Amino acid sequence: MTAIAAPGRRLLDGNDYKTLALSALGGALEFYDFIIFVFFVTVLGHLFFPPEIPEWVAQLQAFGIFAAGYLARPLGGLIMAHFGDKLGRKRMFTLSILLMALSTLGIAALPTYATIGIAAPILLLAMRVLQGAAIGGEVPGAWTFVSEHVPVHRIGLACGILTCGLTAGILLGSLIATAVNYAFSADDILSFAWRFPFLLGGVFGLVAVYLRRWLEETPVFKEMKARKQLAAELPLKAVLRDHKSATVLSMLLTWMLSGAIVVAILMTPTLLQTLYKIPAKDALTANSIATLFLTLGCVLAGLTVDKVGAGRFFTIGSLFFGAATYYFYSSVASDPASLYPLAALAGFSVGVIGAVPYVMVKAFPAAVRFTGVSFAYNIAYAIFGGLTPLMVTLALKSDPMAHAHYLAFLSLLGAGIGLYLWSKDQH
């Protein structure tokens, strides 16, 4: 098996910091492009569907187009991962962000239903599918890319910093959406201002494409190419035949990651308003604080997993995540004054996901690493990222703490994975 990273160094050097900075910045900007859609679903529902249909139907259809981006992730990710294992990490790493930039600019320029009729939602769906394909290649590609650049003892930190960048993209999207709503009236947003966040995202993406010109191909891929050790067959075939346990492990970790993000970050503003009667302004502020502390938690998680190993980290870190989020949801109703500090604690605990890619990139050999990580991550995210909101919403009808119980279950899943990895470390 080819080494996962440069084995002769223990510390990060100047090139590593440049690689991490450019990769994390690009990831943040690309994730902003992918997530900004959800902050303008109501507006897009008004603009891209017939005015005579009920508002809730238009919103439902707009959310369906948003979800299409998740469904497109596996296909786009697998195609890019295939060529990433065959032709090089850097090429696909750059292609993913270019595709995201162009599709986001496409949304910004789309004519609405009032102009071109039924073609408007069809074109919006097409742009969203391209966004999904792009993000499907970006995330596993970024994890693979940085893990093969840095010293083996800094893989956790590198992946944690990169995951911090991705979650920062969510925060950036929230802040831009808030700024647009403060700067423009509702009529102005419907008229023209809704285009600005997408236009800005497209420009961000093109800047990131330019910056990634300065990145170099990973030493691991260069070595495999020089030694003619690239995958001789279809990489996905090798993954499914020879690396079933690594695939299952990675999919379970992705379940934990996707569930934590969807419930604790994306759904919580709505939950705070509907279940706990917290004003929208306070709920959104609390969520921004939680997301900020999530980014910090991702970096600390990566730093810690390098020092203590994946087994110990996930056993303890997952239980902390479950306890902190459960305490947040069970206490905020009775003590509204604690909303912000408890949101910070809960968001920080979700940072345990920053160590997920550490396990995934080490689970697959270099020849099929990009494909293995991409297949496991994107398939699991499409399933659990899509089903989690539905399952939690339905469960809330009979259990008012269903969201907290779901996260508690995921924390036990993470702790179980930690014990499994711990047992392997001891052998």
Last residue of a domain, one of 181, 206, 230: 230
Domain enclosing residue 347, as ranges = 234-427
121-166 pLDDT per residue, tens? 999 999 988 888 888 877 888 888 888 778 888 899 999 998 998 8
87 within a domain of the structure (yes/no)? yes
pLDDT for position 231: 59
Helix, strand, coil share of the chain (percent; to 5): 85, 0, 15
pLDDT for position 41: 77
CATH code of residue 267: 1.20.1250.20
60: which 2 tokens? Answer: 């439902």
Residues 292 and 418 both lie in one domain:
yes
Residues 197 and 270 both lie in one domain:
no
151 DSSP β-pair partners? 6
75 within a domain of the structure (yes/no)? yes
Residues 262 and 286 both lie in one domain:
yes
> Which of 120, 27, 105 lies closest to 65, judged by CA?
120
pLDDT for position 226: 67
4 within a domain of the structure (yes/no)? no
Across 56-93, b (16+ Cβ under 10 Å) vs e yields eebbebbbebbbbbbbbbbebbbbbbbbbbbebbbebb
386: which 2 tokens? Answer: 């899509």
331 within a domain of the structure (yes/no)? yes
Residues 298 and 220 both lie in one domain:
no
Residues 361 and 410 both lie in one domain:
yes
291-334 pLDDT per residue, tens? 999 999 999 999 999 999 999 999 999 999 999 999 999 999 88
1 within a domain of the structure (yes/no)? no
Continuous H helices in 381-401:
386-395
The percent of residues above 90 in pLDDT, for the chain, comes to 37
Residues 277 and 202 both lie in one domain:
no
Check pLDDT > 70 for residue 89: no
- Average pLDDT for residues 32-43, to the nearest whole number? 81
Domain count, the chain: 2
Residues 172 and 306 both lie in one domain:
no
- Average pLDDT for residues 396-424, to the nearest whole number? 94
> Which of 322, 344, 422, 27 lies closest to 204, judged by CA?
27
207-228 pLDDT per residue, tens? 888 877 777 766 666 776 666 5
pLDDT for position 193: 92
Check pLDDT > 80 for residue 108: yes
Torsion of CA 384, 385, 391, 392, to 10 degrees: 130
Check pLDDT > 90 for residue 30: no
3-state class (DSSP) for residue 251: helix
115: which 2 tokens? Answer: 């102009």
383: which 2 tokens? Answer: 């399933």
Spatial distance between the Cα atoms of 352 and 46, rounded to a whole number of angstroms: 38
Last residue of a domain, one of 230, 257, 285: 230
366-384 pLDDT per residue, tens? 888 888 998 999 899 888 8
6 within a domain of the structure (yes/no)? no
Last residue of a domain, one of 230, 263, 287: 230
Q: In angstroms, what CA-CA distances link 35 with 259, 360, 366? A: 16, 24, 30
- Average pLDDT for residues 401-422, to the nearest whole number? 96
Residues 387 and 366 both lie in one domain:
yes
Check pLDDT > 70 for residue 11: no
Residues 416 and 351 both lie in one domain:
yes
- Which of 4 and 53 is assigned the larger pLDDT? 53
Q: Which range, 50-54, 65-69, 135-139, 188-192, has the best average confidence (pLDDT)? A: 188-192
Mean pLDDT, the chain, whole residue set: 85
Check pLDDT > 50 for residue 2: no
Residues 164 and 246 both lie in one domain:
no
- Per-residue pLDDT band for 46 (boundaries 50, 70, 90) equals confident
pLDDT for position 389: 82
> Which of 30, 42, 32 lies closest to 194, judged by CA?
42
Residues 207 and 261 both lie in one domain:
no
pLDDT for position 348: 98
- Per-residue pLDDT band for 1 (boundaries 50, 70, 90) equals very low
Spatial distance between the Cα atoms of 86 and 368, rounded to a whole number of angstroms: 9
225-282 pLDDT per residue, tens? 666 556 556 778 888 888 999 999 999 999 999 999 989 988 888 889 888 888 878 8
2 within a domain of the structure (yes/no)? no
133 within a domain of the structure (yes/no)? yes
**Predicted TM-score of the model (pTM):** 0.84
379-405 pLDDT per residue, tens? 998 888 878 887 888 888 899 999 999
Residues 216 and 250 both lie in one domain:
no
388: which 2 tokens? Answer: 């989690």
Torsion of CA 293, 363, 143, 406, to 10 degrees: -40
179: which 2 tokens? Answer: 């700024």
Spatial distance between the Cα atoms of 413 and 79, rounded to a whole number of angstroms: 30
Cα end-to-end distance, the chain, whole Å: 20
